[in-house]
Chain A
């Protein structure tokens, strides 16, 4: 089954404790992206990757890191989480964004709470 998986689905942590949210897709997609969803703000892009070893900042990259060592995986790293990073996070993938017509496939989301 074609899918994007994220782990963990739920996480409660404390300020400053490094964490990683994993994202994996089995569709051989080049493009992957991370979004955060906050009430009243919709979805905002954090980072994206056009292919292996190619990553770039989205609209709200501060406090986050990513890596793309393999095509299928795109982990989101919070080196020192803060309470304002409490949010619902989504990973997404697609064949190639530059074509402008590709559907993005979303993971089920990770609800993160930083105390």
Chain B
């Protein structure tokens, strides 16, 4: 069956540390993968998109890797801050370049001061 799994429901880290979130998928061959941030009661906000031919993408303190062999993406937040506390969602394009996006359940990140 097709699945998108994010490594844990919740992750707690200390301010200043690097947060690493994992997204694994099975039985999909996405052309690209996206990461979103969602705050309670709000709609998700797009963070990064990485294509299948890209190994790594960076944006300020964010870094995403994409390994199509392992069927895994890692999402890193360096020098984390309490304001980074939110739920982070990965999403896959499941119909190859048609933007039919399916979401994982998300990982709730808490950064403690």
A, B from the same assembly: no
List residues of B whose CB falls within 8 A of some A CB. none
List residues of A whose CB falls within 8 A of some B CB. none
